[in-house]
Structure 1
Amino acid sequence: MAAVGAVVGLGNADFSDLREIKKQLLSVAERSRERGLQHSGKWASELAFALEPLLLSELPPPPVLTEEDARDLDAYTLAKSYFDLKEYDRAAYFLRGCKSQKAYFLYMYSRYLSGEKKKDDETVDSLGPLEKGQVKNEALRELRVELSKKHKAQELDGFGLYLYGVVLRKLDLAKEAIDVFVEATHVLPLHWGAWLELCNLITDKEMLKFLSLPDTWMKEFFLAHIYTELQLIEEALQKYQSLIDAGFSKSTYIISQIAVAYHNIRDIDKALSIFNELRKQDPYRIENMDTFSNLLYVRSMKPELSYLAHNLCEIDKYRVETCCVIGNYYSLRSQHEKAALYFQRALKLNPRYLGAWTLMGHEYMEMKNTSAAIQAYRHAIEVNKRDYRAWYGLGQTYEILKMPFYCLYYYRRAHQLRPNDSRMLVALGECYEKLNQLVEAKKCYWRAYAVGDVEKMALVKLAKLHEQLNESEQAAQCYIKYIQDIYSCGEIVEHLEVSTAFRYLAQYYFKCKLWDEASACAQKCCSFNDVSSCIIPGVLPEGSLTLMLATLGVDGSLIE
């Protein structure tokens, strides 16, 4: 497999026959629904809808029934009706002894979902979402034993392998789960659920490099998704653009993923524009609307966020995304208790919903409840170890608790996930400063500036560090670069640290006997509110200082 950073286009994937691809999607959508895999069925259906309609003669034929399918048909039909009503134990009871692949999968899947439902009920009713502790799905071990026997006997089809992988992942057997999911993608490459589960287990691009994946057009969707998850946004956007060019320009799934990718690199205007377009194409969509609300929150767009919250409530107020959007709305209004309540509601609906754990951690931070924030962030990491926001949030909480070694560990983890995010680097630099590791701190601040300083503070912090170490020339260079950046990007010149920069440069130029430069910097400094900070004994020659003070309307004589 090619190196992750070098991917352009669609590799060896064949998208020449889109009508055949549509037939495959319609077929796997139906097979997924027959097995109760609603999300996989929906994904395939949405992708198929983005392609041109097929003629009657081109529609996929119904699946061929085996003798075992015929024998199990009555039990399967009855059990599937119970399954659809979420009566999982009842469905499993009537499927005992079934031998066909489809009925056997539904039997095992019903047992798995029954265990999950009981676990979630116990989590919510007995403990509450912040104290879920070690509640486990009691059915997992039995399912593993039975599926393992079938696997060794090579009696599992692609769907069975997918379920076996899910059970292994739930038992924290990640390596075995990855192997099984890879096998599932080879046996049934059209099943999106197996690819998605594999995504959740890949922690870095090195793991991705060594996966032996099938050469199929589905791999391109997987790669685009995993690049987004691994914060390889440039590669992800290239993949999605190639998929659009290949014929999927009408796919709302691809459009939403592109919006999420721009959200991840904090290109807020671009992401907002794409989400607004997506809402026009699919006005009743709820998926990804919590991400859309995050963007509205960052932009402090209260009316738009209020409208989105009310709109989603009308569509389905008991979806986790809806609860998160309402939580963001209350958070923007500084009603943090109400916001936390809605994030808790989201977790009652789905205890494994990553966004709600992270957002709830943020709300507890706002309420100064650091212990609850730590719990929430830890739960977010349990759900997804790639969530840099949770690692960063833990760093912030331990910073508040004045525990710099813990703080450093968590910021390092966040930085590993977002190596080009200046916020992580600045946070690391501040930690190193507190630990008196000043060389490391300087490296972090300079790197933060080099990757594009979002908050425009890295150079100031680096300059102050040089000041502290009596490295006046380096400090002056940092302040000069900082002032140039502030002015060039068109920000309000009265930036918090600009007057500090001019003040230092006035002192520096005076010591270097560069009177004109010193005078210019002092006068610039005096144009800010904190004028007194510039009027320092001996900074400028007598005539220049008197002129500067006179300009301000101050009757000044030389300060001795």
Structure 2
Amino acid sequence: MTKFFLGYTYLELQLNEKALDMYNQLKNLGFEKSNYVHAQIAISYHNKRDVLTAISTFNNLRIIDPYRLDNLDTLSNLLFVKDRKVELADLAQHSYNVDKYRVETCCVLGNYYSLRSEHQKSVISFQKALKLDTQYLAAWTLMGHEFMELKNYHAAIHSYRKAIDVNCRDYRAWYGLGQTYEIIKMPYYCLYYYKQAQMLRPKDSRMLVALGETYEKLDKIKEAFKCFSTARSVGDIDGLALLRMAKLYEQLEYDEEAKLAYVEYTKESEISPAPIDLCLAYRFLAHYHLKMCNLELAREFTHMCLRYEETKEEAKTLIKSIEQRKRQYLGGVYEDTSIQGADSYGPPPALLKQLAAYGIAF
């Protein structure tokens, strides 16, 4: 029984690796067929944001016990995150057929309606769940999200606060409150709630990035840099920390630091399926290299900017500036009477050397 208690406690405290280790020990001690143990393992993967493994574990559990509705609300959250509409619709239909009066069924239906952007119906489903169980944490938190989508911020705040009353260790509710106060432009409230969420999830980069962005809005640049740097060190989940650092360097006109950060960001984005604001990195690098007279690199990054609607028009202007700068250098170098060795077959070696110094390939 001690191991069951420890596993449950680790999971409550978001010590997911320790929880996984404990439940795997229980499997080896003869509980390999325990549905509860398998469900707790799936929840551990969910908390670690290992979404695919968590979905796979839940699906295996459904095969073993198809009429088990426990924890299907968590599975519906995972399917929602991965935008699996067909699977979520199937899960909603199955849950409704098994028992339409279970809180898990109402939650699955709420997520299904939310994925279909039917937010009012989603709210009604979560309200039904709360009529069945007023202490049902997931419904309060998810209903807060739906009120956010409906721009009913007062109701969202009420829902998140009720979730915290049920379980003050629910980081999602604290984070939701932070987002709500960020939207209604109350940064000091926002900062407080993000801090609470970050204390509950100290190694979650999303909390650190949110904190950093709030510090940035409050002109606390040192604290913002610290948050973004820590987010990088714990594993930048969404790839936002490096981008925020680069933008801060750019705003402060620390061009060398901004260049290094943007270059690293572009390299990391090569393996990212959906790079965020990559065009802004290319735009800065194009301007930087033009300023430093590295015209070939400036041209390369400018052509990258042409791929994006946000920077296409500016890129066209940049191309003209690069060509104009190139003509100026060519004209200036040819007028230099100190250059020797010119012949009728092309530029002299000394000229080529000077052009190369400007980043111009002839």
User: TM class, shorter-chain normalised?
Assistant: 0.7 to 0.9
Counterpart of 2:295 in structure 1 is: 515
Counterpart of 1:464 in structure 2 is: 247
Q: How far, CA to CA, are the matches of 1:477 and 1:223 in structure 2?
A: 45
Closer, same or farther: CA 441–536 of 1 in aligned 2, 3 Å: farther
Q: Does 1:533 align with 2:314?
A: yes
Query: 271, 286, 289: which is aligned to 1:488?
Result: 271
Gaps of 5+ in 2: 328-362
Report the 3-state secondary structure (helix = DSSP H, G, I; strand = E; otherwise coil) of the residue aligned with 1:396.
Answer: helix
Once the two structures are superposed, residues 188-213 of structure 1 have per-residue CA deviations (whole angstroms, 9 ceiling, x without a partner) of: xxxxxxxxxxxxxxxxxxxxxxxxxx
Report the 3-state secondary structure (helix = DSSP H, G, I; strand = E; otherwise coil) of the residue aligned with 1:540.
Answer: helix
Counterpart of 1:277 in structure 2 is: 60
Deviation at 1:240, TM superposition (A): 1.4
Deviation at 1:425, TM superposition (A): 1.2
Q: Mean alpha-carbon deviation: is it higher for 531-540 or for 304-313?
A: 531-540
Report the 3-state secondary structure (helix = DSSP H, G, I; strand = E; otherwise coil) of the residue aligned with 1:428.
Answer: helix
Q: Identity, % of aligned pairs? A: 52
Query: 471, 481, 497: which is aligned to 2:277?
Result: 497
Once the two structures are superposed, residues 115-147 of structure 1 have per-residue CA deviations (whole angstroms, 9 ceiling, x without a partner) of: xxxxxxxxxxxxxxxxxxxxxxxxxxxxxxxxx
Q: How far, CA to CA, are the matches of 1:451 and 1:512 in structure 2?
A: 34
Counterpart of 1:382 in structure 2 is: 165
Counterpart of 2:16 in structure 1 is: 233
Closer, same or farther: CA 313–535 of 1 in aligned 2, 3 Å: same
Contact 1:252/1:278 (8 A) holds in 2? yes
Give, as a single letter, the amino acid of the residue that structure 1 aligns with 2:264. K
Deviation at 1:544, TM superposition (A): 6.3
Q: Does 1:407 align with 2:221?
A: no
Question: With structure 1 as the length reference, what TM-score do the two structures score?
Answer: 0.56
Closer, same or farther: CA 359–544 of 1 in aligned 2, 3 Å: farther
Q: How far, CA to CA, are the matches of 2:269 and 2:6 in structure 1?
A: 38
Deviation at 1:302, TM superposition (A): 1.4
Q: How far, CA to CA, are the matches of 1:307 and 1:544 in structure 2?
A: 62
Once the two structures are superposed, residues 456-515 of structure 1 have per-residue CA deviations (whole angstroms, 9 ceiling, x without a partner) of: 2222211111111111111111111111111034x25xx341111011112222333333
**Equivalences, count:** 326
Contact 1:507/1:539 (8 A) holds in 2? no
Counterpart of 2:151 in structure 1 is: 368
Report the 3-state secondary structure (helix = DSSP H, G, I; strand = E; otherwise coil) of the residue aligned with 1:386.
Answer: coil
Counterpart of 1:319 in structure 2 is: 102
Structure with bigger RCO (C-alpha 8 Å, 6+ apart): 1
Once the two structures are superposed, residues 41-65 of structure 1 have per-residue CA deviations (whole angstroms, 9 ceiling, x without a partner) of: xxxxxxxxxxxxxxxxxxxxxxxxx
Counterpart of 1:328 in structure 2 is: 111
Q: How far, CA to CA, are the matches of 1:378 and 1:395 in structure 2?
A: 11
Give, as a single letter, the amino acid of the residue that structure 2 aligns with 1:501. A
Gaps of 5+ in 1: 1-217, 546-560
Question: With structure 2 as the length reference, what TM-score do the two structures score?
Answer: 0.86
Q: How far, CA to CA, are the matches of 1:369 and 1:391 in structure 2?
A: 17
Deviation at 1:536, TM superposition (A): 4.2
Q: Cα RMSD over matched residues?
A: 1.8
Closer, same or farther: CA 539–407 of 1 in aligned 2, 3 Å: farther
Counterpart of 1:191 in structure 2 is: none
Q: How far, CA to CA, are the matches of 1:455 and 1:462 in structure 2?
A: 14
Q: How far, CA to CA, are the matches of 1:260 and 1:544 in structure 2?
A: 60
Report the 3-state secondary structure (helix = DSSP H, G, I; strand = E; otherwise coil) of the residue aligned with 1:534.
Answer: helix
Deviation at 1:543, TM superposition (A): 7.3
Report the 3-state secondary structure (helix = DSSP H, G, I; strand = E; otherwise coil) of the residue aligned with 2:49.
Answer: coil
Counterpart of 1:195 in structure 2 is: none
Q: How far, CA to CA, are the matches of 1:228 and 1:541 in structure 2?
A: 61
Give, as a single letter, the amino acid of the residue that structure 2 aligns with 1:447. T
Give, as a single letter, the amino acid of the residue that structure 2 aligns with 1:459. L
